[in-house]
Structure 1
Amino acid sequence: MARLDRLDRRGLPLSTSSDLAAGRYRDGIDLLLAAWPGAAEALEAAIAADPGFALAHAARARLHAIRAEPAAARARIVAAAELVARHGTERERSHVEALSLAIHGRSAEALERSLAHLEAWPRDALILSLPLGAFGLFAFSGMADHDQARVDLCERHARHYAEDDWWFLTYRGWSQAENGAVAQGRALTQRGFELRRENANAAHALSHALYEAGAGEEAERLIEGWLPGYDRSGPLHGHIAWHAALGALERGDAARALALYAAHVQPSVSAGMPVNIVSDTASFLWRLQAYGHAVPPGLWQAAADYARPVFPAAGFAFADAHMAILEAATGDGEAVGRRAAALAQLAETGRLAAGPVVPAICRAALAFAEGDHAGCARILEPVAAEVVRIGGSGAQREMIEDMLLLALMRSGAAAKARALLDRRLHRRPSPRDTAWRGQMAG
């Protein structure tokens, strides 16, 4: 029999009779949704107060998954499923099922289950969080229109969230900004950030909105003032610093960018999620070098050494694109070739949601690293519109567009390079692109 004595933060019943368990669960979910330290401890306290509280076990499983601890995540979600089957409500059983599918890597089913769940219980924020974000189920679905899909989902359920719901404002704003409605997205995200500044997801989303608005220096100032209050154990600490480093690179301040990388981003100092560490290190070092600055000795190899055991096999499109850049930069062309061949086979058999664009990016990265800029452009140009399918954010994927742009510039395709630069400058003012456009005009 369900014990409907307590409510979650958004008014949904919780099957626990313990005031302490319910309170610590609410705290834990807030911290989880804010990407803030302390979530694990709060959820463990909820479980200690009521060992039969299925949703606390499920949330702990979700946190293990976020931290790339798959064995612990699977064990926790199995325990949650057993508990919820005995004394959970229909909503709680559906909640645990959606999380279980995601944790067990059944992403397409998890997305389908999550969307169906939200039709019945739209205020279930933890489940709504699954399709959203740069690394959510939509982003990694292989869809070419995942930016629009996130907006549609948020707008569909917006009426169910209070106007001062800091979490929903954050993700609604981020979704709008990523989809091109930058001013609207920035305003929503700013409001969410002001309501709860101890919210790394809001600081992160606002950094993205400022980036897309061409306000890189403002983003740097935001991060410089906010980051010291965010403990290094926070999962987004290194990644938010990466945003500041990109801003410094855009201004041409390589020394500042490298100092941020050394202090916050490189694998030896970051406590971030492995997918963030690998993508942030690969993309920062690639940009640093591509923009004409020297990469200090050892940085490429340290990043590659960290990444190799984390993503040894092909099949995770977003990670594969960054792994190929690391492999190419460290002279391991054979590894890039193996990765691209494995990805091509997965794409041919329908087992790679993002499709043939992924092996193409890998081959292009190798061509660029070897100085074959004409070859890189030939590979990337036909698939440029499909790069969005690898997921991640616009700021992260812009590296691939940079690769195409520089390949066109360096291979003598001036007219194509100018056209691409003009489109980029129309979309987002950038000191780097302005300088490149000036060089081409001269």
Structure 2
Amino acid sequence: MTEIAEPMQAAAPVSASFHTGDAAMKRLRSRYAAERRFKIYGILAISFACIMLVILLFTLLKGGVSAFWQTEMRLEVTLDAAIIDPQGTGKPADWDRGALQTLATNAIYKEFPEVEGRLEKRDLRGLVSPVAGVFISKILDKDPSLVGQTVQLWLPTSDGVNQILKGGIDRTLPEAQRTINDRQLAWVDKMQANGHLKTAFNSTFFTSSDSNYPELAGLFGAAVGTLLTMMITLLVSLPVGVAAAVYLEEFAPKNKLTDLIEVNINNLAAVPSIVFGLLGLAVFLNFFGMPRSAPLVGGLVLGLLVLPTIIIASRAALKAVPPSIREAALGMGASRLQAITHHVLPLAMPGIMTGTIIGMAHAVGETAPLLMIGMNAFVTQAPTSVLDSSSVLPVQIFIWADKPERGFVELTSAAILVLLAFLITMNGAAIWLRKKFERRW
């Protein structure tokens, strides 16, 4: 029996799937375009940040580099023993140092003998720094045998002369808009033509403390105060922060109390810094009676300020260590404490150091809490201990920025450059320590 074959049905045309065809290619092109846009946005954001950084550095360098130089004038100073040592004892301890400015005034009068009249002489002595006597005192301290002699000394000019010669003040401005008048400008030009003016490195900026006169003001006292304050901050925040992080992450039971502690630690990291200043004022100064303006109090306040940051970063670093490290140490017979101290902590140290870097960088730039505990006092001597009155670099910058003299404007920019260098050095040391303790597994 012959079977009749059924005619084969024609195969249905294959339709485009979700992953092929024009619609899929359109979606693919859209994703690629979004990815390109995202890259462009990232490049624009980084470029904007770099441009702002360059503008900031350019502004600081333009306004601050000139502070590292000081204009000096050469004067023939007669170191009259009758003025310096009126008692005639010959002992530097008995010198009348307050009268040394008279020697500089007499020297500038000798330079221009033709100047007469009270007003003209007032303008003339306005060319030399009103604290030139301090520099004469330092010279005599180095060589007391100069008393009674007439010597050529390079003494700092007044701030007005200094700014005119460094271009900080436009000499073409009307006389009423300049700190020195036309008559003084003529005297300055004459001294410059005679070679009696020069620009020298301003070592006073690095060796002196604060002063009401820009030619005598320096950062040494604030720099020492910053070092002492940061030392106290590190000694307080790092051990306590790491210990708290280890306990909360490795030993503390998970209950409502530890949850409350964790929430409060996270909240403290966002509390305005001035609140910590109020805490230091109420507790350390008023309750415990600690000295005002002392690096000890400043370090304690800043230590409390950065403590939440170090705890949070340390907990994250501990959590990032693989559980297998703990299990292997426990399996070999180590106690829980030995497993943490011998294995987990060394592996978490890079992350802990990163949190410390962030916290210390935050602390070194803080001003508000230190103002609350009186570290904005006028301190003319560098502190010798953590209990002495002191200032710090951010507060010193704040004080100088509020002064009207043109010389303090450039000192402010220069101090910011020094603070940035201080911060970079501190961070570089911390990064070196982080690399030193870094271990790989």
Tell which has more relative contact order, 1 or 2 (C-alpha 8 A, sep 6+).
2
Q: Same fold (TM over 0.5)?
A: no
Question: Which of structures 1 and 2 has the bigger CA Rg?
Answer: 2
TM-score (normalizing by structure 1): 0.25
TM-score (normalizing by structure 2): 0.25
Structure with the bigger percentage of helix: 1
